Amino acid sequence: MFSRGDMHTITLNLAGLKLFSQSTGLEISAAKSDLFCAGVDKVMVDRIQALSGFKVVIWNTASVPKHQFLTWLAFKQRLLTKDRLAKIGLIEDQMCCLCSNGNESHSHLFFECDYSKACMAMLANWVGLQAQQKTLQQLVQRIARNCKGDKLRRQAYSAIINALVYFIWRARNDKMWNNHKWTVEQVVQ
């Protein structure tokens, strides 16, 4: 659920969800759902969480929204990677089209794949980040830990990682559907 982040809007959204549940009989699971806000402080986040029961995710205003959304999908392992496409019977070949060294999954694509490792290494060298994490989740946790108290630096690193995930996914799609392979430099550019 997306919201402006003020209590009035949150209250209206929750009332709408309640009406939806009453009319359809379907219940929204707060454990499986997130509430996205931008431009809210910690006090407001706490108030929103207490009122709604949802986990509140704050959009980084330094990142491009489509980059953030795609990274969120990757973080939740909801991108249609080849392993997921094979599971629902749409494809048979699960080999990573970027490196051809393993089956494509979220963990492989971000960052076990030799191609994405090379992208991460080039980017890390450019920004001076020591990135030896094996998963996207570990990388995000490390950035959060290392940038405590430095909001600008954390936002910059987050925007860079969001863009990297987005462009790796774009490069993967271009290779898979158009048979066009991007160079590592094109992804990091």
Give the pLDDT band (50/70/90) at residue 23: very high
Q: Are residues 51 and 67 in the same domain?
A: no
Residues 64-91: b if buried by 16+ CB within 10 A, e if exposed: eeebbbbbbebbeeebebbbbbeeeeee
Q: Are residues 40 and 117 in the same domain?
A: no
Each residue's pLDDT tens digit, 160-186: 888 999 999 999 999 999 999 999 999
Q: Are residues 55 and 82 in the same domain?
A: no
Q: Are residues 74 and 42 in the same domain?
A: no
How many domains would you assign to the chain?
Answer: 2
Please compute the mean of the pLDDT values over residues 104-129 and round it to a whole number.
Answer: 85
Each residue's pLDDT tens digit, 32-76: 777 766 666 778 778 878 887 777 666 667 778 888 889 888 888
pTM given for the model:
0.72
Pick the more confident residue, 103 or 27: 103
Q: Are residues 92 and 148 in the same domain?
A: yes
Q: Are residues 121 and 143 in the same domain?
A: yes
Q: Are residues 82 and 22 in the same domain?
A: no
Give the pLDDT band (50/70/90) at residue 6: confident
Determine the structural domain holding residue 129 and report its residue range. 62-188
Q: Are residues 123 and 175 in the same domain?
A: yes
Q: Is the pLDDT of residue 89 over 70?
A: yes
Q: How far apart are CA 59 and CA 128, in angstroms?
A: 24
Q: Are residues 71 and 36 in the same domain?
A: no
Q: Is the pLDDT of residue 4 over 70?
A: no
